[in-house]
Amino acid sequence: MNGWIFPGQPLQYEPLLPDDDDFRIINLKCRERCGYDLENKQPLSAGSLSQHTCLQIYGVAMSLYRARRLLFKGEKPELIAEHSLGIYAALNAAGCITEGDALELAARLGACMRVMSATKEYALGCPIGLSVGAVESAARNNRVFVANYNTSSHFLLAGESEGIESALAECREAGAFNASSFSCEAPLHTPLMAVIASQLEAVVSDYNFAEPVVPVIEHISQTRLKASDIPTFLLDELLKPVWWERSYLTLLSRGVKNLVEVGSGNALKKFNRWIDSENSQR
């Protein structure tokens, strides 16, 4: 069975962009629906989109582009899973929304999140090589949240910048192999997002979602999304953590043998490699 996995927001742009008709079509949709030029990696109107939102649109666009290329080669998914921002392109691959809607949703939700950074500074923290218990303890002690449970040793924290830095210091003290931080506009996948829940809900309510023609395993509880679940899930997923290891194991348990990461980078492939190596030692 073939599985397509859609990664979350990339940390950076790829140095080289594709040069073909599919890329140009996706770029046109980015320009029309988001006011973003994929080729120049800039908003059409200066200052209209934050750098964070630009990177989010880019992430969705690259997933949509790679899905197009795979379909062109005759490859089709039989099961889909997604990580964080990957949900929008995943919903497109499953036939629930158009490419334009996937891009526009990401851009509009990104614009809502930008508001949060006006009053507080938020950051993401990436502790590597600690157990879940130690990471959760560092998060609790410093009033931040575990936003991504990627593997037994790879997590993402989100919260106010000060809390993230002190949580990472605690992780280093506890023996983390590495602990780095990144600025962000909003603490995605945490309850702190509740302050803009009504704005996020209003955006999501503007879209219609068709029944998936390919099953999509969502990243909160690893169940199959139905069309009627999607609006609630799109809001919930911004307030709850991503459980990638569980999602990957669910794909395997459902018989997926061939996995393709559809998007920028190969973070999910690396998480899967880690999970496989642990499983092979059990």
Q: Which is nearer to other proteins, 95 or 129 (CB)?
A: 129
- Span interacting with other proteins, options 107-115, 125-133, 204-212, 227-235, rule CB under 8 A: 125-133
- Tokens linked to 174: 């506890």
Query: Among residues 60, 76, 89, 164, which one has the least CA distance to residue 120?
Result: 164
Query: Among residues 232, 122, 96, 112, which one has the least CA distance to residue 183?
Result: 122
Do 81 and 219 contact (CB within 8 A), yes or no?
yes
Q: Which of 126, 164, 203, 238 is the binder for other proteins (CB under 8 A)?
A: 126
- Span interacting with other proteins, options 91-99, 126-134, 160-168, 195-203, rule CB under 8 A: 126-134
Q: Which is nearer to other proteins, 57 or 268 (CB)?
A: 268
Q: Which is nearer to other proteins, 13 or 224 (CB)?
A: 13
Q: Which is nearer to other proteins, 69 or 270 (CB)?
A: 270
Using the CB atoms, write b or e for 236-269: b if 16+ within 10 Å. Answer: ebbbbbbbbbebbebbeebebeebbbbbbbebbe
Which class for 89: exposed (0-12), middle (13-18), buried (19 or more C-beta within 10 A)? buried
Q: Which of 122, 245, 271, 275 is the binder for other proteins (CB under 8 A)?
A: 271
Q: Which is nearer to other proteins, 126 or 158 (CB)?
A: 126
Q: CB of 14: closest distance to other proteins in angstroms?
A: 11
Q: Which is nearer to other proteins, 167 or 225 (CB)?
A: 167
Do 124 and 156 contact (CB within 8 A), yes or no?
yes
Alpha helix segments (H runs only) across the chain:
21-34, 51-72, 86-93, 99-116, 132-141, 161-173, 197-204, 230-239, 244-253, 267-281
Q: Which of 141, 180, 232, 279 is the binder for other proteins (CB under 8 A)?
A: 180
Helix axes 244-253, 267-281, angle to 10 degrees: 70
Tell me, by CB under 8 A, how many residues bind other proteins: 17
72 is a site residue for other proteins (CB under 8 A): no
Q: Which is nearer to other proteins, 103 or 176 (CB)?
A: 176
Q: Which of 51, 178, 208, 221 is the binder for other proteins (CB under 8 A)?
A: 178
What residues from 8 to 47 belong to the interface with other proteins (CB under 8 A)? none
- Span interacting with other proteins, options 27-35, 219-227, 237-245, 264-272, rule CB under 8 A: 264-272
- 258 phi, psi to nearest 5 deg: -110, 120
Do 123 and 159 contact (CB within 8 A), yes or no?
yes
CA 82, CA 90: separation in Å to the nearest integer?
6
Q: CB of 47: closest distance to other proteins in angstroms?
A: 31
Q: Return residues touching other proteins (CB under 8 A).
A: 126, 128-129, 153-154, 172, 175-178, 180, 267, 270-271, 273-274, 277
